[in-house]
Structure 1
Amino acid sequence: MILQLLIPMLFCTLLVALLYSCVGHGGASGYIAVLALFSVSPEVFKPTALTLNLLVAGITTWSFFRAGHFSWRLFWPFAATSIPFSFLGGYLTLPAHIYRPLVGVVLLLSASRLLLQKNAAPVRTTPPSLPVALVIGAALGLLSGLTGVGGGIFLSPLLLLCKWGELREVSAVAALFILVNSCAGLLGHLSGVQAIPSYAPLMAGSALLGGAIGSLLGSRHLPVPTIMRVLSLVLTIAGFKLLLV
């Protein structure tokens, strides 16, 4: 890729990682949008997005864990079934014209619901039942592997809207959820790793820098209402990306 295009693409990658990591996300849907914007070949979307997602989710998980927001009780039931199904989804290749519009609409509806939720005061939360969490984990894992995203962008609004976790706790759980599912999806898509472009290490560096800044802000400094608005913005960007790209 010529330098005139590479520099703005790296800046966009950094911005995506910063914005998404504020709310515990790896940014896969944003990386796919960046790659599409700069007319990169579609076959590299999935492996490249999963690789960058893996790196940013790792540093984001560490930041939120160190800040004391992680809940193993909330995390493990979703992860138990999502990991094998994410591997399966990474192995499969399905046409995008069915799931992309559907997922885009779901994300936009979630964003609007969160944006209208003006009360940022602590709410009483109750973890979901084990069967419900296991079924949802399997569904999100499969969707994660199929689309090349880590699944957290679907898990976060679900946990918040169902009042299954508090905001920073949800961000911490989503970060590790993205990490394990990106790893499983990438392993299931090993045949596509050879399609990762030669400039991917530069994108990885930009993503790691943005992820480090964003996760620090999100885990310790940003007020809850701001995080809610950022999460709504992230969901809106991802939703329109799936509908329009």
Structure 2
Amino acid sequence: MEAVLYIDYLLPFLFFIVAFVYSSVGMGGGSSYTAIMVIAGMSTLVIPMVSLSLNLFVTTIGSYNYLRNKHGKLRIILPFLFSAIPFAYVGGALHLPKQVFLWILLASLILVAIRIYFWKDTGFRWQLNHWGKIAISLIAGSIMGLVAGIVGIGGGVYLVPLIIMLNIGTQKEAAAAGVVFVWVVSLSGLVSRLHYNSIDLSEYIPLIVAVVVGGFLGSYMGSFKFNPKTMEKILGLVILVAIALLIKKIVF
């Protein structure tokens, strides 16, 4: 009875909160979905596939809300996607030992927390020429794509501030680029994984419904109402809790 309640009610509730908070700042939530499923004891072979699938659901809605408000700009996102797509496919083809998977996930979450709490938008902008910006975009895209394919983290949390610091887009344009980026790399990583494994998403319908509703509400409020900095602080708290629980899972 407790297991049923956990799967049917507690996990969907947690996933709804994650989808709402992440999508409000142009992200899919893959980092926290993955951490929650690890903590819940799910298989590390299944987790990335579920996480990438949920990313797709959330960012499909988020992409619609941001793009219909004309925040999306192809010139911003294209260089990142050019390198991210093949690397996400490669990452999805890798089958790492469980402990390696967990440590990569933990490192990714810690970097997310550092980005939120210490990498602030202080007004600093890199003074680079056009080709310098393209080079950084390609390098960053390849790294984020690889990690997305391996553990199911879309990379939007890193991409959004990077766009701001490269001075190639506004906050809203960066959020729109982030949600589109997560959608594309999640699709690439998922396609790769489906070549080697199969997944019955009908088993995860409560989670899908939760992230669809949370993603719709969060992206709507993010594109129309919420202050991105306020939502980012809430996101930081979510990440810190996930880090603490994941460390407990790995160590104990």
Question: Under a length normalisation based on structure 1, what TM-score does the superposition of the two structures give?
Answer: 0.85
Identity %: 28
Residue matched to 2:178:
174
User: Which deviates the most, 49-58 or 125-134?
Assistant: 125-134
Which of 105, 110, 122 is the matching residue for 1:105?
Answer: 110
User: Which deviates the most, 136-145 or 47-56?
Assistant: 136-145
Aligned-residue CA RMSD (Å): 2.7
Contact 1:43–1:195, Cα closer than 8 Å, also in 2: no
Gaps of 5+ in 1: none
Residues 221 and 193 from structure 1, CA distance in 2 versus in 1: closer, same or farther, beyond 3 angstroms?
A: farther
Contact 1:50–1:148, Cα closer than 8 Å, also in 2: yes
Q: How many corresponding residue pairs?
A: 241
Contact 1:103–1:242, Cα closer than 8 Å, also in 2: no
Contact 1:123–1:166, Cα closer than 8 Å, also in 2: no
Contact 2:156–2:179, Cα closer than 8 Å, also in 1: yes
Q: 1:223 offset after TM fit, Å?
A: 2.4
Which of 76, 83, 86 is the matching residue for 2:85?
Answer: 83
Question: Under a length normalisation based on structure 2, what TM-score does the superposition of the two structures give?
Answer: 0.83
The amino acid across from 2:110 in the alignment is V
The amino acid across from 1:103 in the alignment is S
Alpha-carbon distance between aligned partners in 2 of 1:33 and 1:146, rounded to the nearest angstrom: 13
Contact 1:21–1:214, Cα closer than 8 Å, also in 2: yes
Residues 141 and 244 from structure 1, CA distance in 2 versus in 1: closer, same or farther, beyond 3 angstroms?
A: farther
Residue matched to 1:56:
58
Contact 2:15–2:207, Cα closer than 8 Å, also in 1: yes
Q: 1:67 offset after TM fit, Å?
A: 1.7
User: Which deviates the most, 66-75 or 91-100?
Assistant: 91-100
Residues 219 and 193 from structure 1, CA distance in 2 versus in 1: closer, same or farther, beyond 3 angstroms?
A: farther
Q: 1:59 offset after TM fit, Å?
A: 0.5
Residues 210 and 44 from structure 1, CA distance in 2 versus in 1: closer, same or farther, beyond 3 angstroms?
A: same
Structure 2 residue 217 is the aligned partner of structure 1 residue 213: yes
Contact 1:44–1:196, Cα closer than 8 Å, also in 2: no
Which of 47, 50, 53 is the matching residue for 2:49?
Answer: 47
Q: 1:232 offset after TM fit, Å?
A: 3.9
Runs of 4+ residues over 6 Å off in structure 1: 122-127
Residue matched to 2:139:
135
The amino acid across from 1:55 in the alignment is F
List per-residue Cα deviations over 1:38-59 (Å, max 9, x = no partner): 3333332111111111111110
Contact 2:125–2:165, Cα closer than 8 Å, also in 1: no
